[in-house]
Structure 1
Amino acid sequence: MMSEDGRLMSGEPIIRAMEVLHDRANGLGGGFAAYGIYPHKKEFYALHIMYDDIRAKEATDVLLDERFEIDSEETIPTRKTPGIGKSPLLWRYFVTPKADRCTTDTCEEDFVIDAVMHINEKVEGAFIFSSGKNMGAFKAVGFPEDVGRFYRLDEYEAYTWIGHGRFPTNTPGWWGGAHPFTILDWALVHNGEISSYGINKRYLEMFGYKCTMLTDTEVGAYAFDLLLRKHKLPVEIA
């Protein structure tokens, strides 16, 4: 759902639109991405992180403090919602790379990606599932309309919304494995199977990407970042 003139729209219509597709999913993954939701923090990277426990958060906080200036941090607001079980700890940070670490926008973006990949690979029980500016992903195990209400997306406004209901068949249904998959400002949802996942994963890892979300679609988000942002291919070729 996109406003071509950049008008901000509540998340309620996209929740209701996904509810129509209830039977296309099976309750093992739903999610949304929203662009334009943090206008008061639009200069900062918004890190949405899920933690299995407080120890994972403490370990991640150390790594974030080493790399970033943290403008603010808070729990991601949620509400009790039927159909959504026990959640991980859900946290968001608004950060910018420390001044001595980066000198250009390209360096900044690569620096953020390196930090995301390092934490997702090395910190047990921590997953950064959104890392863009003035946008955010929200996902969980559940039907998408329940996920939207759990995250209180009716209280957000955005100029572009993406929604997804998952029906996993050959990969696990877990909070980090729900769609969308994101890196920086890219957000991707996908239905079907990417049978070339293995070779895509190995190719991307040559460029420093780490595939840790246990699903084939993750490679798509990283491939678009590589082909469009780093290799600067036209979008049609990518």
Structure 2
Amino acid sequence: MIDLGPDPIIPDDEAAEGGCGVIGFACEIPVAGKHLFTSLEQMRNRGNGKGGGVALVGLDPEQFGVTREILDNDYLYTVAYLDPAVRSEVEESFIHATFEVDHVHEMPQLHEWQTRLPELDVEPPEVVCYFVRPRVAAIEEFQAKSGLSATDFDGNEGMLDEIVFHATHALNVEFYAGERGSQAFVLSHGVNMLILKIVGYAEDVIRYYRLEHMTAHVWIG
């Protein structure tokens, strides 16, 4: 059994349960986020506005400032900073300690969101995308502590995935589900994929993070 560290703290007050509306499509050509608006807005009566998000797969490397090689081989490790003041600590203690960072992309924000998105009650978090690869030292530490190697997984890629999972769990417990409260958390990690979520609706995510012209081959909202 692999030790995942401390368990998260579950708050006593639970949000009211709501319905869920989902749209998804996959296309051979890249599709911009603005094309989801009509369908998403028609589904507002299916949700309660407490949590809306989008997932993108098959991204455009130029829109993130990376090469095709980096996009296809690095993990896109996306962190939401509810408290931007902890960013340097997160990067020092978790990101750079575990990963080689090839590129950092800060998601743009709609700064006049209070007037342009008046239905949002909570300001969405700052989001930073890190294009990363597990460090050799982190791989060796994982193997030493767990007694596992690539042969115990589906090859080396499976072992690297496990290391990333461990890093995400540790970061989330420390900065989101632990005694420190909600300061930062990992939105998604994976290759050539991105997930964004806010307290609001999915179309608000697209507008707030300026995804109207961002393209992907697969969208879920």
After TM superposition, the score normalised by the length of structure 2 is 0.67
Which of 35, 42, 50 is the equivalent residue of 1:13?
Answer: 35
2:210 alignment counterpart: 152
Q: Distance in 2 between matches of 1:54 and 1:159?
A: 31
1:129 partner SS: strand
**Structure 2 SS opposite 1:27:** coil
Q: Does 1:87 align with 2:124?
A: yes
Q: Does 1:77 align with 2:108?
A: yes
Distance 1:91 1:70 in 2: 12
Which residue is equivalent to 1:134?
A: 192
- Shift, 1:87, TM fit: 2.5
Alignment coverage as a number of residue pairs = 162
Residue 26 of structure 1: how far off its partner (Å): 2.0
Give me the whole-angstrom Cα distance separating, in 1, the residues matched to 2:98 and 2:204.
35
The answer to whether the Cα contact below 8 Å between 1:16 and 1:145 also exists between their aligned partners in 2 is no
* 1:72 partner letter: H
Contact 1:30–1:143 under 8 Å retained in 2: yes
Tell me the amino acid that sits aligned with residue 174 of structure 2.
K
Higher relative contact order (CA 8 A, sep 6+): 2
Output the CA distance in 2 between the equivalents of 1:106 and 1:100.
17
Q: AA paired with 1:3? A: A
What percent identity do the matched residue pairs reach?
A: 28
Alignment partner, residue 96 of structure 1: 133
Q: Max radius of gyration: which structure?
A: 2
Question: 1:24-173 alignment to 2 at 5 Å?
Answer: 24-39=46-61, 40=68, 41-62=71-92, 63-79=94-110, 80=113, 81-82=116-117, 83-84=119-120, 85-102=122-139, 104-123=156-175, 124=180, 125-163=183-221
What is the TM-score with the length of structure 1 in the denominator? 0.63
Q: Is the 8 A contact 2:105 2:130 kept in 1?
A: yes
